[in-house]
A and B are shown apart, each in its own frame.
Chain A
Amino acid sequence: MSLVKRLFRKKLFVVGFMFISLLFLTSMGYYLFFDDYIPKVPLQFENGRPLHAPYSGADFPPLGTDNFGRNVAFVLLVGAKYTILAGVAIAFLRVVPAIAIGIALHYFAPFLQRILKNIADAVNYFPITLFAYLLLLWIEPSTTWNPSTGSFETEERIGIWPALLAYISVLSFVFIPANSVLIANEIKTVYRKEFIASSMTLGAGKWRILTKHIKPYLTPQIFLMGMREFIQTLILMAHLGVFLVFIGGSVVTKDLFDFKQIISVSNEWGGILGMWWSFLYTTYPWLAAYPLILLTLLIVAVKFMMLSIENVLAEEDQVVPEKEINLHEVNLADSRPAFQLLYPTKIKEVKNDS
C-alpha cells in the first residue's frame, strides 16, 4: 500500500490536513467571492463622547474590532491564505534548490561539503531573526528625524510586489546551504546500505541508483524537511512581525483618531501579531492573543502531519521476528562458533493494514 494512502488512514494526519486545507480554501473562497471585503465599524459614541477604538467582541461579533475599526475575524480570515501561501512558498524555496545542490554536492563536489558545513555553522551563530531583520530593514517605511518640525516622519520606500519578493527571497536563501548539506548527508546514509552495493555490482549507474533506490528514501525526508521549514518560517514571520517588518511591506495609514500607524498590507498573521502585540499591555489583551493562537493552531496542524508521517515511516522500517527472541539466547550466541544457525530467522514485515 502506498505511503500516501496509509497516511490518510492516520487520524492525526487527516485532522491536520483538513484543518489547513479548510482554512486555506475558506480564505481563498472569501477572496474570490467577496474580494477580501473587511467590514468596518465607524467611530462609536457614547453620550456624545467618542469611545476608544478596539471594540470588544460582545459589541461587534464574533471577535470585535481593532484600532482601525476593522472586524478582527475578517482580518484574520483574509490573512490566512497569505500566511499559508507565504509559508509554503518560502519552505519550497528553501528545500527545492537544496535538493539539486545536495545531489550535486554528493556526486560532484564532496570536498565542498566541509566548507559549506562551516559556512552553515556560522549562520547558526548569527541569530537568524536579526539577520533577516537587518536584510529587510529597507522595505519598512523609513523613519527620519525632521529637525525643523521636531518630529519623526515616515514615508514608504518601495511597492508591495518588490517588497514581497525581497521578503520571500531573504527568508529562503539563507537556509539553502544548511539544507543542501543535510540532503547530501541523507544521500550518503542511503548509499551505505547493502542493496546499493549489490545494485552497483549488477551494473546500475548513478542515475538509476538515484531514481530507483535513493528517491523512495529521500522523498518522505524531503517532505518532512519542508514541513519543518514551514513551521520555522511561520515562527520567523511572527518574530519579524514583532519588529514591524511585514510580508508584502507595510503602509502608513491613519486610524480612527487620525493617528498615523504602520499597517500590514496583506494582513498576514505574523504582521497582524506584530501590529497588535502592544495591545497586550492595554485593556484589550485579547487582540494580541488571536493571531498568536491561530498561528499556534496552524503549527500544531503541521506538526500532526509530521508526526504521522514519522509514524508511518517507522512502521515501514519495523521488521519483527516471528518468534520472540530470548535475550539469553542472543547473549549466548556471541560465545558460539561462527556460521552456526541458532534459530530460524524468519523475518516478515508487519502488516500495517490494521
Chain B
Amino acid sequence: MKWMMVILSKFLFVSIGLILLSAFTGLFRDDPQMDWQLYIEIVLNIIQSFIHPELLTVTAITGHEHQIFESFWPLYKYSLLIFLPALFLSILLSILLSYLTILLPEKIRLRVTQAAALLESTPDLLIILVIQASILALMESTGILLFSVAATTQNPSYVLPIVALSLIPALMFYKVTLFLVNDELKKPYVDLAKGKGFTWSTIFFRHIFRNITPSLFSHSKAILLILLSSMFVFERIFNISGLFTYLIRYPEPDVIAFALILFYVPIFLLYMLFSALIARTTGQRMEW
C-alpha cells in the first residue's frame, strides 16, 4: 500500500512539474517578461482549465476559437501509435543484438562494445537523412516506393517513422545491455550453468537476462527521454500531424500541460506495470 502511495505521489510530482514548466513557456509567448504575478495567473489558469475541460481552447490563425477536443484525440492516438511501438522495437532490437553479440568471441565482443559506445551519439537527424535519401534514391532508380517517406492526413505513415525513431535508442540500450551482460558473464553462476550443460540461449534468456532486468529498467528512463525528444523533431520531418505539431501550432500553456500530462499517462502506466512485474519475478522493488 505504501508502495502505491509512493508511485502515485510520483505521478503527482511530475504532473505538477509539467504544469509549472508549461506555465513558464507562457511567459515567453510574445515578449519575454519575468513577472511573478503573471506566472501565478497562468498556473491558476491551467488548473482551472483542468477542472473545466471545456476551457481548453485554441485560437486558430484566422481568429476562431476552437475546443481542442474537436481534433485532439486522433492526434494523440497517432503520436502514441508511433511512440510506444518505437519504444518496444528499440528494446527488442537491443536485446536481440546483445544476444547475438554474446555468441561472438571475446575479443570481437569488446570491439563491438566500443563501436556501440561510439555510434550511440550519432545525431538522429543523420539516420533520418540516410533512410529518407536511400528510399528516395531507390524510388528514383527502380520506381518502387518501399515506404512512404512523409505522411499526409489521409495517408498516415507508420513503419518508417517507427523504425527510424527506434534505431538510436536501440543502440543506446544495446550498449547498456552489453555492458551489464559483460559484467554478468564474469560471475561464477554462468560457469556453473555452462558446466551443467545448459545451452547459451537458456543461460542468456533465463538467467542473465533476469538478473540484469532491474538495472536495465532503471537505465531505460534515459532512453525514454531521448525518444521523446526525437519524436518531436520526427513529427516535423516526416510531416506527421501528431501531438507535438499541434502544440507548436497552438502554444497555449494549458493545452501544452494537458497534452504532456496525457502523454505521460501511458508511460507512467507502463512503468508501474513493469516495476510490479520485476518485483514479482526478481523480488526487487525498483525506484524510478
Minimal beta-carbon separation of A274 from chain B (angstroms): 10
**Cβ-defined contact, B14 with A327, below 8 A:** no
- The CA-CA distance from A71 to B140 in the complex, in Å, is 28
Give the residue of B132, B133, B244 whose beta carbon is less than 8 angstroms from that of A127: B244
A137 within 8 A of B: yes
A280–B129 CB distance below 8 A? yes
| Docked-complex contact B28 and A137, CB < 8 angstroms | yes
For residue B21, which residues in chain A have a CB less than 8 angstroms away from its CB? 122-123, 126, 131
| B117 and A331 contacting across the interface, CB-CB below 8 Å | no
B93 to chain A, nearest CB (A): 21
Q: Is B126 an interface residue (CB 8 A)?
A: yes
Q: Flag if A289 contacts B229 (CB, 8 Å).
A: no
Report whether B17 and A123 are in contact in the complex, using a CB–CB cutoff of 8 Å.
yes
Q: Does B121 contact A (CB under 8 A)?
A: yes
Contact residues of A: prevailing secondary structure? helix
Bound-complex Cα distance A281 to B132 (A): 9
B121-149 vs A, CB cutoff 8 Å, 1 = contact: the mask equals 11111100100110010000000000000
Is B278 interfacial (CB 8 A cutoff)? no
Structural contact, A125 and B122, CB atoms closer than 8 A = no
Most buried by A among B18, B30, B117, B121: B121
Given contacts A135-B25, A138-B28, contact A125 B18 (CB under 8 A): yes
Within 8 A of A (CB), among B1-25: 10, 13-14, 16-18, 20-22, 24-25
The stretch of B46-54, B97-105, B232-240 in contact with A is B232-240
Main secondary structure of the interface of B (DSSP, over half): helix
Interface residues on B, range: 35 or more
Contact with B along A112-138 (1 / 0, CB 8 A): 000000110111111111110111111
Looking across the interface, which residue of chain B has its beta carbon closest to that of A144? Answer: B61
Whether A124 pairs with B247 at a CB distance below 8 angstroms is: no
Given the complex, which residues of A lie within 8 Å of B25, measured CB to CB?
131, 134-135
Residues in chain B near residue A242, CB distance under 8 A = 125, 233, 236-237
- B74 → chain A closest CB, angstroms: 20
Does B228 have its Cβ within 8 Å of any Cβ on chain A? yes
The answer to whether the Cβ of B260 comes within 8 Å of any Cβ in the partner chain is yes
Chain B residues with CB under 8 Å of A304's CB are 118
With beta carbons under 8 angstroms apart, the residue of B22, B123, B132, B267 that contacts A235 is: B123
Asked if B28 contacts A303 (CB within 8 A), the reply is no
Kindly identify which residue among A119, A128, A134, A293 contacts B28, using a CB–CB cutoff of 8 Å.
A134
**Contact of A288 with B by CB under 8 A:** yes
* A128→B123 contact, CB < 8 A: no
Is the pair B125, A126 in contact by a Cβ cutoff of 8 Å? no
Q: Which residues of B contact A239 (CB under 8 A)?
A: 125, 229, 232-233
Q: Which residue of A lies closest to B17 (CB)?
A: A122
Q: Is the CB of B122 within 8 A of A307?
A: no
Q: B126 contacts A128, CB within 8 Å?
A: no
Asked whether, in the complex, the Cβ of A138 is within 8 Å of the Cβ of B30, the reply is yes
Is B188's CB within 8 Å of the partner chain A? yes
Write the nearest CB–CB distance from A303 to chain B, whole angstroms. 5
Partner of B14, one of A122, A234, A295: A122
Partner of A299, one of B123, B136, B221: B123
Judge if A273 is at the interface, Cβ distance under 8 Å. yes
Chain A proximity of B231: nearest CB distance (Å)? 7
Contact partners of A288 in chain B: CB under 8 A: 129
CB of A84 within 8 Å of the partner chain: no
Question: Is A289 in contact with B232, judged by CB distance below 8 angstroms?
Answer: no
Sample of 26 A–B contacts (CB below 8 Å) = A119-B17, A122-B13, A124-B228, A125-B18, A126-B260, A127-B232, A128-B225, A129-B233, A131-B21, A134-B25, A134-B28, A135-B25, A136-B28, A138-B28, A238-B125, A239-B229, A242-B236, A280-B132, A285-B136, A295-B126, A303-B117, A303-B118, A303-B121, A307-B117, A307-B118, A327-B188
Interface pairs A-B: 5 shortest CB-CB:
A122-B17, A134-B25, A118-B13, A127-B232, A127-B228
Q: A131-B21, A135-B24, A293-B126 are in contact. List 15 more A-B contacts (CB 8 A).
A: A118-B13, A122-B18, A123-B21, A124-B224, A127-B244, A128-B225, A134-B25, A138-B32, A166-B32, A239-B125, A239-B229, A292-B123, A296-B122, A299-B123, A331-B188
